[in-house]
Amino acid sequence: MSSHPNGAPSPGRPGGLGGPPVRGSAAPKVRAKNSKATVRRIWSYLSRQRAGLLMVYIFTVLNAVLALVGPYLLGKAIDSAIIPRDYGLLIRFCIMLGGIYLLGSAVSWVQAYVMTSVSQRTVYELRRDLFAKYQELPVGFFDTHASGELMSRATNDIDNVSNSLNQSVTQLLNSLIMLSGSLVIMLLLNVPLTLIALITVPLVVLASRRITGLSRRYFKNQQRHLGELNGFIEEAVSGQKVIKQYRREQSEVARFRTISDELNNASIKAQIVSGLVGPVMNMLSNLNFALIAGIGGWMAYKGMVTVGIIVSILNYAKQFSRPVSELANQYNLIQSAIAGAERVFEVMDMPSEYSGEQPQPLDRIRGEVIFRQVVFGYQPDAPILNGVSFTAQPGEMIALVGPTGAGKTTIVNLLTRFYEVDGGEVLVDGKDIRALNKNELRRQLGMVLQDAHVFSGTIRENIRFGRLDATDREVEEAATLANVSGFIARLPQGYDTLLGTDGTTLSHGQRQLLTIARAILADPAILILDEATSSVDTRTEMHIQQAMRTLMKGRTSFVIAHRLSTIRDADRILVIQGGHIAEQGSHAELLALEGIYHELYNSQFKQAIQAG
């Protein structure tokens, strides 16, 4: 099993080199943006759809105008046709009203269709940028964040943004037009009744601000618990074999209930508080209706206003209070979206591991590697390596051995620049690797890990992952060199056989051979083998070792191994202990020293005899 350099078991990131913590803290701290800044950033994505937004604006204005014309015509129909009993004029008014309402429905549908297209394209770009950001973040970030929680940011949080964009943008614009339009027409119809209709507006604003301010906090808490639950579920599903092996089903169910209860409580609070908006607004709207109807009826009795004007103002007052209520409801939805967007932008604001790098090409390297007084620790006060120095000549096979947590994996983590040295320097062909472009450096590094990670897709696609421009013939040649072509030929679809998630349809040895074929195809100058044969049977180990010898031929190789029998042919063996190189030499030289390596080798030899 791969382990943390500090001796703790790795959390098991597929295909990762151990899983050390981010230095200094559990995770990089990035302060969440405030609401205004987050809304501006969402708008920066939305504004890219200018043509669609223009269409949405036109249809929203048209829809609002049609909605404003209806109540005015209704009042005119009462005063001009119903009270005078002019049925011919009444029919014409009915036809006009019917046409307006039908046209309004059609315009509303087109508006919704266009806005859906705009919002989905916007969310597509946001999700694309978030995924691209994930590819730029350093390995340490993923070592300290549950993959399920990161998935939640790319799915649930962005879905909240999508839902808000679908509904809120047009609703906000429509509400603003309806508010201003209704107020103007009401003032033109009758000023006293309009002032009465405005009495409840301060109450509506005050209630909505209090409720929505409280709901925002609850929605953000809800999203945080949802991310935790997704992270737990992802770990539980991927670790089912371990859970069943240790009979921990009930304890996992209990943990799920605990986390789920926290989410449930947070969700209930968020929904209850946000749910108060509707009833409170309806109560105030009904109060407003009663005031206008009562006072308007008295004014009509005194001859101060017509019945038609009262009916029109009642409808406009309803249209006036409805946008206020809808704005409050939309505010709740927007707060949920802002809470999700903040979590997304927190990740997008984290520094990329490629920041400040120049895209300079790197010629084919010879493979000389020098560690010169290297000091490094995942935590500032807990160094793992203390002044490590050694030189690997081009084409040499260097084996790294030592107890768990000694720093073997840390050495290759520094060579690949998954982490940067705290002191000293690492040189490749005489150049400090900190001056080299990471992508160019890693392009010439090949890795075969203990946890052989296979992607969903065909066998051919998994091998071609090592070099995407490789031809089918080159893929098959790499498979032959890796001793993997034999079992591929026995599969029903051969190289086109589809593999499930993590390649669970293959044995561990078969997955390991596929990763070796992938590395052969990549043709690296420097090769890293991390416990590549530790989890397979003896016969499979022989096939893997043969493939590894083919892969290592002519390349500088670093081999991390607990089975010392697998590295007897190494040009040099480095014994790592306590963060420094305690011994180094060939297999024979180290045995002759009768030191740490001699003790490790003999203990394994005795265990093999006892097992036999």
CA distance linking residue 80 with residue 66, whole number of Å:
21
- Evaluate whether the domain defined by 35-224+268-348 bears CATH number 1.20.1560.10: yes
Return d(Cα 9, Cα 383) in angstroms, integer. 18
Q: Is the dihedral of CA 464, 465, 470, 471 positive or negative?
A: positive
Predicted pLDDT at 151: 83
Please determine, for residue 406, whether its predicted confidence score (pLDDT) is greater than 90.
no
Q: Lowest mean pLDDT of 48-57, 254-263, 332-341, 492-501, name the range.
A: 332-341
pLDDT of residue 584: 92
Q: What pLDDT was estimated at residue 503?
A: 60
Q: What is the DSSP string of 441-487?
A: HHHTEEEEESS----SEEHHHHHHTT-TT--HHHHHHHHHHTT-HHH
Domain pair 35-224+268-348 / 369-611, same fold = no
Give CA torsion, residues 499, 505, 507, 510, to 10 deg: -20
Contact assessment for residue 275 and residue 250, using Cβ atoms and an 8 Å cutoff = no
Q: Residue 583: beta bridge partners?
A: 575
Per-residue pLDDT tens for 108-122?
899 888 988 888 898
The arithmetic mean of pLDDT across residues 502-522, rounded, is 80
- Helix residue ranges, H only, 78-143: 87-136, 139-143
Alpha-carbon distances of 176 from 9, 173, 194, 259, 348, rounded to whole Å: 58, 5, 18, 41, 33
Structure tokens at 105: 């429905």
Q: What is the DSSP string of 477-518?
A: HHHHHTT-HHHHHTSTTGGG-EE-GGGTTS-HHHHHHHHHHH
Lowest mean pLDDT across 129-138, 225-234, 455-464: 225-234
- From residue 382, alpha-carbon distances to 3, 142, 413 in Å are 17, 21, 17
Tell me the per-residue pLDDT of 374-405, one tens digit each, with 9 for 90 and over: 999 888 788 889 999 999 999 999 999 988 88
Cα separation, 332 vs 338, in Å, equals 10
Question: How far, in Å, CA of 277 to CA of 328, rounded?
Answer: 7
Kind and range of the H or E run holding 580: strand 580-585
Beta bridge partners of 391: 370
Cα end-to-end distance, the chain, whole Å: 23
The ranges assigned to domains in the chain are 35-224+268-348, 369-611
Element (H, E) at 388: strand 385-392
**Is 42 or 320 the better-scoring residue by pLDDT?**
42
- pLDDT > 50? residue 580: yes
Q: In this prediction, what percent of the chain has a pLDDT beyond 90? A: 10
78-83 contacts, C-beta under 8 A, 24 or more apart: 78/306, 78/307, 78/308, 78/311, 79/306, 79/307, 79/308, 79/309, 80/308, 83/307, 83/308
In the structure, what pLDDT confidence band is assigned to residue 27 with cuts at 50, 70 and 90?
very low
pLDDT (tens digit per residue) in 220-235: 788 788 878 887 887 7
Residue 501: pLDDT band by 50, 70, 90 thresholds? low
The total number of residues written for the chain in this structure: 612
- Whether 498 shows a pLDDT value over 50: the answer reads yes
Task: Count Cβ atoms below 10 Å from residue 404 Cβ, excluding itself.
Answer: 16
Single pTM value for the model: 0.69
CATH of domain 369-611: 3.40.50.300
Chain position carrying tokens 């649930």: 156
48-74 pLDDT tens trace: 888 888 998 899 889 888 888 888 888
**Which of these, 486, 460, 489, 465, lies nearest to 547 by C-alpha position?**
486
Residue matched to tokens 């109540």: 71
